Amino acid sequence: MCSGQTAMSADGVPQHPGDMAAQVAMALDNVEAVLAGAGMTLAHVVRMNIYTVDVDGFFACYGSMVERFRRAGVMPASTLLGITRLAFPELMVELEATAVS
């Protein structure tokens, strides 16, 4: 299972413009919701690709993401890519998780 998640509401509206920490938290919440729908948790994630328009801004809140995975008992392989922009200009980060059951 592979899922790409951003800080978007259920109706597709970007959330928390300019707030990297809030966007990372919401994107992780969205990853967890997709995983739950498939009967999985963060513990099933084996790879995480991170796309961000602000690498330094992402690293400032990276610890919160690491902590959530630590609590799940995993530390998936990951790739961090600095990009020019995402589909919506308000978005600063997108997480792409690969999970196996």
The architecture CATH gives domain 2-8+15-99: 2-Layer Sandwich (3.30)
Closest among 31, 24, 6, 25 to 98, alpha carbons compared: 31
R_g of the chain computed on alpha carbons: 13
Q: What is the pLDDT of residue 3?
A: 62
Which two tokens mark 31? Answer: 């990853």
Contact predicate 82/42, CB 8 Å: no
Neighbours of 44 (CB within 10 A): 18
**Across 36-40, average pLDDT:** 96
Q: What is the pLDDT of residue 10?
A: 83
Contact predicate 74/66, CB 8 Å: no
9 pLDDT exceeds 90?
no
Q: Per residue in 61-101, pLDDT tens?
A: 999 999 999 999 999 999 999 999 999 999 999 999 999 99
